[in-house]
Structure 1
Amino acid sequence: MKIAFLGLGTMGLPMAANLLKAGYNVQGWNRSAGPAAKLAERGAVNAATAAEAATDADVLISMLADDNATRSTLLEGNVLATLKPGAIHVNMASISVALAVELAQLHQARNVGYLAAPVLGRVNVAEAGQLTILAAGDSALLANVQPLLDVLGQKTWYLGDRPEQASATKLAVNFMIASAIGAMSEAVALVQGYEVDKGEFIDLITSSLFAAPVYKGYGQAIATDTFEPAGFKLALGLKDVRLAQDAAERVNVPLALAGTLRAAHVESLAHDEGHLDWAALSRTAARRAGQI
């Protein structure tokens, strides 16, 4: 089985590396040359273009940054046009519901299988091959690529036969993560207003009522002001909050909290914090409280 892997960023590189370790033939491509060279050192073939990587691929896995990168690579970069009939494309990035619907239609017209399979987990989880995979699309296609997904993740959740169902689920989860970070940020500002140590507060909540990975991971970053290197950039968090709003509007679901979160993200970007880890959203609450 020949696998093409497009997008070797923070998450894509360890995912592709795990496929190599499992013995799969991987041809990789990335916009910048550095990550592709790192993958080549581990045994992958380094493609000069995305279309070259897709040539004769049985399975294409893409892990691109956003809708624009996905569209420009797959469509303008002729990747979809290059894929052979019967190939399967597994899109593991977070994209809009609208683009998921469009891609499903375009793939079907070319007799290329399309699955949406965005993931939950940060880079350390990707390195360990323990991602949670949210999959939607033709169940027969999923069965064909499940051995690959088993290398990348600890569990694959099948959410339905329409790819946009996985995209909507991923956006709903990321909306919840943004909500958790926003709530922790304002709660930390509150206790600091009463001179309670924020590290002690985070330890309190994450060892009792909120002993969950999202609160523990982002909470520790907030407690120690550790926002670099970014496991997931704040700017990407804003992108997903916006996409969650768009997805909700398509089905007439009001997301009142999303508007508040979006404003906080935009404020953070106005302070040039978009490159920092998503936990840096806590700086917005602290600024509003006059604490920084």
Structure 2
Amino acid sequence: MRIGFIGLGAMGQHMAHNLIATGFDVTVWNRSSDKLAPLVEAGATRAVQAADAAACDVLITMLADDDALTTVVDAHDLIEAMPENGVHVNMATCSIECARRMAARHENAGRHYVAAPVLGRPDIAKAAKLNIVAAGDHDAIERARPALEAMGQKVWPAGEAAYKANAIKLATNFMLVSAVEAMGEATSLTSAYGIERADFLEIITNSVFGAPAYLGYSGAMANREYDNPEGFKLALGAKDMDLALAASKAENVPLPVGSTVRDRLSEALAAGDGDLDLAALAEGSRRAAHLDDND
């Protein structure tokens, strides 16, 4: 199977490496060409044009957001460059409306669009342990399944409508960001009573909250070390919360917790924390509680 891969950021680099390591014939393209060298050294083919990556059995994109996806697709005529009945698997977190538009455009052109957003951070992607939520034409998903299984530990089917996978992803990230904010607030509460951050976080992550969402961020929160290149950037959490709130508004589903957490994300962005790990949300709670560095 020939696979085209576009979008070699923190997640995409690891995902493409795993495809190469599994033995797939991978053609790579990225807007920033410096990201290509390590993959070419690992055995990938460097695409001269983005359309070269699209002219494969399966095109995988892992771009930052709706705008990045639309810009690359339109600027390089990727849908037209795909083979007849080709499969485009978009593995990024996108809006519901973007998924609907892309699915319709591909169908009108005689191509297949599969939404397959991933659950996991870059370190999980590197270990090929991602959970992948896939929605779209059943046969198209099955054609792409060998590649998906090379990048993740499980593929979760989500139906024929591509946007359903994105709805699941947005709901998941809404819960994740809310959980990290709650953990930060709880840590500030216990800190105000003289309890060491690390002690409290060790207790909760080894008892009632021993789940990946808490375990993955408690270490950074305990040590107040948020500069993690393998982490989930706070700015991306804000983007995903915006998408979740937009999806909720479209269907009149109240998300009062989401609105409150979005305010805290806005405060963190204003404080310059956007490029830090999502665990830096805890600093907003500390600032609001007027805790000093000894608390």
TM-score, normalised with respect to structure 1: 0.97
| Aligned residue type for 1:194 | Y
- Output the aligned Cα RMSD: 1.0
| Aligned residue type for 1:252 | N
What secondary structure sits across from 2:36 in the alignment? Answer: helix
Matches within 5 A, 1:73-112: 73-112=72-111
Q: Deviations over 1:27-68 (max 9, x none)?
A: 1111212221111110111224322322x2110001111111
Q: Deviations over 1:180-239 (max 9, x none)?
A: 001001001111111110000000000000000110111111111121124111000000
In the alignment, structure 1 residue 268 sits paired with structure 2 residue 268: yes
Residue 226 of structure 2: aligned partner: 227
Distance in 2, Cα, partners of 1:257 & 1:48: 46
- TM-superposed CA distance for 1:164, in Å, is 0.4
| Aligned residue type for 1:33 | S
What secondary structure sits across from 2:10 in the alignment? Answer: coil
Matches within 5 A, 1:49-198: 49-54=49-54, 56-198=55-197
| Aligned residue type for 2:64 | A
What secondary structure sits across from 1:11 in the alignment? Answer: helix
Aligned residues between the structures: 291
- TM-superposed CA distance for 1:247, in Å, is 0.9
Distance in 1, Cα, partners of 2:67 & 2:277: 21
Distance in 1, Cα, partners of 2:280 & 2:268: 8
Residue 285 of structure 1: aligned partner: 285
Distance in 2, Cα, partners of 1:53 & 1:160: 27
Distance in 1, Cα, partners of 2:45 & 2:223: 40
Distance in 2, Cα, partners of 1:80 & 1:92: 16
Q: 88-97 vs 66-75, which deviates more?
A: 66-75
- TM-superposed CA distance for 1:79, in Å, is 1.5
Residue 200 of structure 1: aligned partner: 199
* Structure 1: 5+ residue stretches without partners: none
- TM-superposed CA distance for 1:86, in Å, is 1.2
- TM-superposed CA distance for 1:104, in Å, is 0.2
| Aligned residue type for 1:14 | H
| Aligned residue type for 2:176 | I
Distance in 1, Cα, partners of 2:272 & 2:253: 32
Q: 29-38 vs 8-17, which deviates more?
A: 29-38
What secondary structure sits across from 1:115 in the alignment? Answer: strand
Matched-pair contact (CA < 8 Å) for 1:2–1:57: yes
Q: Deviations over 1:137-159 (max 9, x none)?
A: 11111111111111111111101
What secondary structure sits across from 2:186 in the alignment? Answer: helix
* Structure 2: 5+ residue stretches without partners: none
Moved beyond 3 Å, runs of 4+? none
| Aligned residue type for 2:114 | L
Distance in 2, Cα, partners of 1:44 & 1:226: 35
| Aligned residue type for 2:256 | A
| Aligned residue type for 1:101 | R
Distance in 2, Cα, partners of 1:237 & 1:50: 28
Residue 256 of structure 1: aligned partner: 256
Distance in 1, Cα, partners of 2:134 & 2:52: 26
Distance in 2, Cα, partners of 1:189 & 1:49: 51
Matched-pair contact (CA < 8 Å) for 1:75–1:81: no
Q: 173-182 vs 25-34, which deviates more?
A: 25-34
In the alignment, structure 1 residue 243 sits paired with structure 2 residue 243: yes
